[in-house]
Amino acid sequence: MTQFKEKAGKDRENASVGLYDYPVLMAADILLYRATHVPVGEDQKQHLELSRDIAQKFNNDFGDSIRSHGFGEVFFPQPEPLITGPATRVMSLRDGTKKMSKSDPSDNSRINLTDDADTIAQKIRKAKTDPEPLPSEEKGLEGRPEADNLVGIYAALSGRPKSDVLGEFGGGQFSNFKNALVELCVAKLSPIASEMKRLVADPGQVDSILIDGADRARAIAAETMKATKDIVGFVRKS
């Protein structure tokens, strides 16, 4: 798993079992609900591949039992990734070669969903760019990770392809484009921050939503676990 190698770094022997087992835990979260499609970012695709491998292994090893219990040829579907839009991997505002992450020590590297309008504007205007104007075609973004990232963010939030964004802003300076990006980010993200603040102010509502969601998820999970134990041959002693 490339993510384990990246996060463990040179001190791989001392990496925690939590980091090592994370992809298996993610696979369990997916397979427990027998999901067929999972929305993920580009960097999570390899974890979904592991989920598919585990599902196939289970179906192959217990095929006869799966069929005898009336589940047809497979019990666990092989989940397909749903990777959509022009910004499948949003990168850092300070380094276009690294993904945007809440673990980055610099708060200016990311836009938090709790950021207010002034904070969003400040981060976008300080975002790293290069001295060249924006290109008019997507090919011109090659080798320009910061420009590509900002254009991708604009495209994702506006629901337009990168080519359309470059058709509008290509040839212009980053300052003008950043002003437009600030307006778009604030318009799209500020309502989310406002709703989060509203919910935080009413913890009782949040708790009730979590309890309801857990109850519904538990019902699905219980059916999957019972069927899995039956297929494998675990029998509860009376």
Task: Please report whether residue 224 resides in a domain.
Answer: no
User: Considering only 18-22, 54-58, 234-238, which range has the smallest mean pLDDT?
Assistant: 234-238
Task: Please report whether residue 170 resides in a domain.
Answer: yes
| Whole-number pLDDT of residue 237 | 57
Task: Please report whether residue 200 resides in a domain.
Answer: no
Return the structure tokens found at 185: 């980010």
Q: How far apart are CA 170 and CA 174, in angstroms?
A: 10
| 7 in catalytic set | yes
Which of 69, 30, 82 is CA-nearest to residue 53?
30
Q: Are residues 67 and 111 in the same domain?
A: no
In contact, 2 and 44? CB cutoff 8 Å: no
Q: How far apart are CA 112 and CA 110, in angstroms?
A: 6
Please report, as a single letter, which amino acid is at residue 88: T
Which residue has 């058709």 as its token pair?
Answer: 167
Q: How far apart are CA 177 and CA 15, in angstroms?
A: 42
Query: Which residue of the set 10, 102, 139, 237 is catalytic?
Result: 102
Q: How many domains does the chain have?
A: 2
CATH code at position 32: 3.40.50.620
Task: Please report whether residue 216 resides in a domain.
Answer: no
Q: How far apart are CA 54 and CA 41, in angstroms?
A: 20
Residue 58's domain spans which residues?
2-84
In contact, 231 and 72? CB cutoff 8 Å: no
In contact, 108 and 93? CB cutoff 8 Å: yes
Q: Are residues 72 and 121 in the same domain?
A: no
| Whole-number pLDDT of residue 221 | 97
For the chain, strand residue ranges (E) read 37-39, 80-82
Task: Please report whether residue 99 resides in a domain.
Answer: no
CATH code at position 155: 1.10.240.10
Q: How far apart are CA 55 and CA 215, in angstroms?
A: 25
Query: Which residue of the set 7, 45, 128, 188 is catalytic?
Result: 7
Q: Are residues 50 and 123 in the same domain?
A: no
Task: Please report whether residue 146 resides in a domain.
Answer: yes
Task: Please report whether residue 166 resides in a domain.
Answer: yes
Q: Are residues 73 and 6 in the same domain?
A: yes
User: Considering only 15-24, 129-138, 224-233, which range has the smallest mean pLDDT?
Assistant: 15-24
Q: Are residues 115 and 186 in the same domain?
A: yes
Q: What is the pLDDT of residues 65-114, one digit of tens each?
A: 999 999 999 999 999 999 887 777 899 999 999 989 998 999 999 999 99
In contact, 99 and 89? CB cutoff 8 Å: yes
- Give the residue from 152, 173, 190 where a domain finishes: 190
Q: Please state, rounded to an integer, the average pLDDT across all residues of the chain.
A: 91
Residues 187-202, mean pLDDT to the nearest whole number: 92
| Secondary structure (DSSP) of 98-155 | SB--TTSS-GGGS--TT--HHHHHHHHHHS---SSPPPSSGGGGTT-HHHHHHHHHHH
Query: Which residue of the set 5, 98, 99, 128 is catalytic?
Result: 99
Q: Are residues 145 and 176 in the same domain?
A: yes
Task: Please report whether residue 155 resides in a domain.
Answer: yes
Question: pLDDT confidence of 42, banded at 50, 70, 90?
Answer: confident
Q: Are residues 35 and 73 in the same domain?
A: yes
- Give the residue from 84, 115, 130 where a domain finishes: 84
Whole-model pTM: value is 0.75
Q: Are residues 178 and 113 in the same domain?
A: yes
Q: Are residues 13 and 50 in the same domain?
A: yes
